[in-house]
Amino acid sequence: MGALTSFITNLIIYILLAVILDMLVPNSSFRKYTKLVIGLILVAILLAPVLNLFKADLPLAMEQTLAVIGRKDTGQFDAKITDKKSEINQADRAYTLEQMAVQLKRDAEGELMATFQYQVTGIRVEMKDKSSELKAENIKSIAVQLRKSSKNHEIEMVEPVDTSFHSDNKVQTTKEVEISDWLTKRWALSKDVVTVTIAK
């Protein structure tokens, strides 16, 4: 603000002196040279602030400004990257667990139908913790929902299937325990990992 005030003050003083000098110079051929010199000095005064910018160390000033901005933005940028990375990892993990459930269903479906006459309506895989690798020893539980398959191959009305998993601690029936043990052996898992629920 001080530089702007100084510039305007100098400009006003110069214009006043130029007007006074123009009045004092007699009307002759010498007057046009005086006006030329006064005009050039006025242009020099008007260009002075622009020339002062080039005297300053612009690259250093820009570097300092960018460094300050960079320090503020880097922290926010890193936080955003970390958030996006965790979102992507969670989505990838959920997709992988879903694919694992599909593979488990495909593996057991045929023999389960032939042996027990039950269809798999849903499988949910849960890992011990979110950071554990997707290996058999890190599986916390596999909840399997079954329903009795129709023995005849006639077309029948399709009833809505409840695909939500109920975690109420009800006692498993003998058939559910038998199928649970069979699936545990089939999938080579440790005991009590597979829980079977037969829909009524």
Please tell me which residue, 131 or 189, carries the higher pLDDT value. Answer: 189
pLDDT band at 189 (very low <50, low <70, confident <90, very high): confident
pLDDT at site 70: 63
Residue-wise pLDDT for 49-58, tens only, equals 777 766 666 6
Q: What is the pLDDT of residue 72?
A: 58
Compare 186 and 136 and report the one with higher pLDDT. 186
In the sheet with 118-127, reading across from the earlier edge strand, the strands are 118-127, 139-148, 194-198
User: What is the pTM (predicted TM-score) of this model?
Assistant: 0.50
Please give the pLDDT value at position 170. 61
Neighbours of 107 (CB within 10 A): 13
- Once rounded to an integer, what is the mean pLDDT over residues 78-99? 84
Residue-level pLDDT at 155: 45
Model pLDDT, residue 18: 87
Neighbours of 196 (CB within 10 A): 24
Is residue 143 scored above 50 in pLDDT? yes
Cα 139 from Cα 184, distance rounded (Å): 12
Highest mean pLDDT among 50-59, 68-77, 97-106: 97-106
Strand 139-148 to 118-127 pairing: antiparallel
Give dist(CA 187, CA 183) in Å, integer: 6
Give the model's pLDDT for residue 157: 47
| pLDDT, tens digit, 9 for 90 and up, residues 15-32 | 898 888 888 888 888 788
- Copy the structure tokens of residue 24: 């004092």
The pLDDT of 71-100, averaged and rounded, is 80
pLDDT digits (tens, 9 = 90+) for 30-46: 788 888 888 888 888 88
